[in-house]
């Protein structure tokens, strides 16, 4: 099959990681003779039709991924083979979407003609949802639900837990960078859980974040952003930093200063310097239930987590219902094929993607 395969050497990757540059680009090439993945009894083989692009894809291409790995996380397509342990639930021809740990393995990744997936870490795409929209419920939506539900204890949208009224001050949450793809799902999921949602965005994205559930939005570039938020919301105890770069995490900590609490980060961005406020970083790949190391052999190691893996299976079983309550992020379709993927990753790297997700049709 064809697949987009990483090829950077370790010294180049270290240089890129330290400098934030991407020398010798592109760091991945389309290979024509990649073996079609073999599946075990619990897995599905999927003909990949549509993929969505995430910042993690270019970060893996530039620095994090060893050579010889298939890139890409979010995909939607058609089941072409079913492991015997999954036969009661899935059949050939089903439409399916899922998330792969792209840039980590030679036989698993979304930017390929075929991808394999564990049958309980995938969802059947409802007939009225397009493949493009289905891909947006991958990395971005799952990260939002993982941060809010598994780490901050908010209920799943639509679950019975929602019947409990959220108590007092804790019913307001702060989402930094609500206009990111992850942010748009955080806003919706927190709103669906009954929370008042306070966020930050550029003025260009104020309308967008309101449409996705923000009750109040503040400009993250304003020099008085912390004071402005505290003047109206002095009792915040929960936050998610959907940007997690530069001053964003410290702004979150300041906003939680009066009461203390937890800020979930999506990238490592220092320690909290505010007493009573702790940072907790998540890395979505832990939900896939395998140990891994980024930028091996030098980068951070993550242990396999059985509880995160169980959470992911719950997410996928709830997703047909959750997708009725949380709308997909806006999508922009790029040129079909691997060229569209590489062009889109370059736009993401240059931070030219605003207010939605780039999607690419790989096959019809």
Ligand X SMILES: NC(=O)c1ccc[n+]([C@@H]2O[C@H](COP(=O)([O-])OP(=O)(O)OC[C@H]3O[C@@H](n4cnc5c(N)ncnc54)[C@H](OP(=O)(O)O)[C@@H]3O)[C@@H](O)[C@H]2O)c1
Question: What are the residues binding ligand X (CB under 6 A)?
Answer: 54-56, 139-140, 143, 177, 179-182, 201-202, 204-205, 220, 242-243, 266-267, 282-284, 348, 351, 353-355
Minimum gap (Å) between residue 132 Cβ and ligand X: 15
The tokens of 115 are what? 């991808």
CB 291 within 8 A of CB 304: yes
CB of 124 to ligand X, least distance (A): 24
Minimum CB distance to ligand X smaller for 274 or for 345: 345
Phi, psi of 140 (to 5 degrees): -65, -50
Of 193 and 225, nearer to ligand X (C-beta) is 225
Nearer to ligand X, 114 or 205 (CB): 205
Q: Return the closest-CA partner of residue 63 out of 102, 27, 105.
A: 27
Q: Is 107 helix (H, G, I), strand (E, B) or coil?
A: coil
Q: How many helices (H) and strands (E) does the chain have?
A: 10, 17
Question: To the nearest 10°, the Cα dihedral for 167, 316, 127, 211?
Answer: 40
Q: Which is nearer to ligand X, 203 or 276 (CB)?
A: 203
Place of tokens 């260009």: 204
Shortest spacing between CB 255 and ligand X, in angstroms: 14
CB of 201 to ligand X, least distance (A): 4
Closer by beta carbon to ligand X, 213 or else 355: 355
Provide the pairing of β-strand 172-176 with 196-201: parallel
Using the minimum distance from each CB to ligand X, give the nearer residue, 172 or 248.
Answer: 248
Instruction: Give the number of other CB atoms < 10 A from CB of residue 127.
Output: 6
Pair of tokens at residue 26 = 């592109």
Closest separation in Å from C-beta 14 to ligand X? 19
Q: Which two tokens stand for residue 176?
A: 């930094």
Q: Least distance in Å: CB of 357 to ligand X?
A: 7
């Amino acid at each position: 099959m064809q697949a987009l395969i990483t090829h950077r050497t370790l010294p180049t990757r270290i240089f890129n990681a330290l400098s934030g540059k991407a020398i010798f680009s592109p760091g991945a090439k389309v290979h024509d003779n990649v073996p079609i993945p073999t599946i075990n009894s619990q897995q599905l083989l999927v003909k990949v039709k549509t993929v969505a692009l995430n910042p993690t894809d270019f970060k893996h291409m530039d620095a994090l991924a060893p050579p010889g790995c298939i890139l890409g996380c979010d995909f939607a397509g058609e089941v072409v083979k079913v492991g015997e342990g999954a036969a009661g639930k899935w059949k050939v021809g089903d439409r399916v979407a899922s998330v792969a740990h792209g840039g980590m393995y030679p036989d698993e990744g979304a930017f390929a003609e075929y991808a394999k997936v564990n049958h309980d870490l995938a969802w059947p795409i409802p007939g009225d949802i397009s493949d493009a929209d289905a891909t947006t419920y991958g990395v971005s939506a799952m990260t939002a639900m993982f941060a809010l539900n598994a780490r901050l204890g908010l209920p799943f949208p639509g679950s019975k837990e929602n019947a409990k009224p959220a108590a007092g001050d804790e019913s307001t949450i702060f989402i930094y960078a609500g206009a990111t793809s992850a942010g748009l799902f955080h806003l919706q999921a927190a709103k669906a859980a009954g929370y008042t949602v306070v966020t930050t965005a550029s003025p260009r994205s104020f309308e967008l974040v309101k449409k996705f559930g923000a009750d109040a939005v503040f400009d993250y570039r304003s020099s008085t952003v912390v004071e402005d938020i505290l003047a109206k919301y002095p009792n915040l105890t929960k936050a998610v930093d959907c940007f997690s770069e530069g001053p964003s995490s410290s702004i979150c900590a300041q906003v939680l200063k009066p009461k203390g609490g937890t800020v979930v980060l999506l990238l490592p961005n220092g320690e909290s310097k505010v007493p009573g406020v702790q940072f907790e970083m998540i890395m979505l790949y832990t939900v896939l239930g395998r140990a891994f190391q980024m930028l091996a052999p030098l980068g951070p190691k993550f242990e396999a987590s059985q509880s995160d893996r169980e959470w992911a299976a719950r997410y996928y079983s709830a997703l047909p219902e959750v997708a009725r309550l949380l709308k997909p992020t806006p999508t922009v379709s790029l040129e079909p094929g691997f060229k569209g993927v590489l062009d889109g990753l370059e736009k993401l790297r240059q931070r030219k993607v605003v207010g939605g997700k780039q999607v690419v049709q790989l096959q019809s």
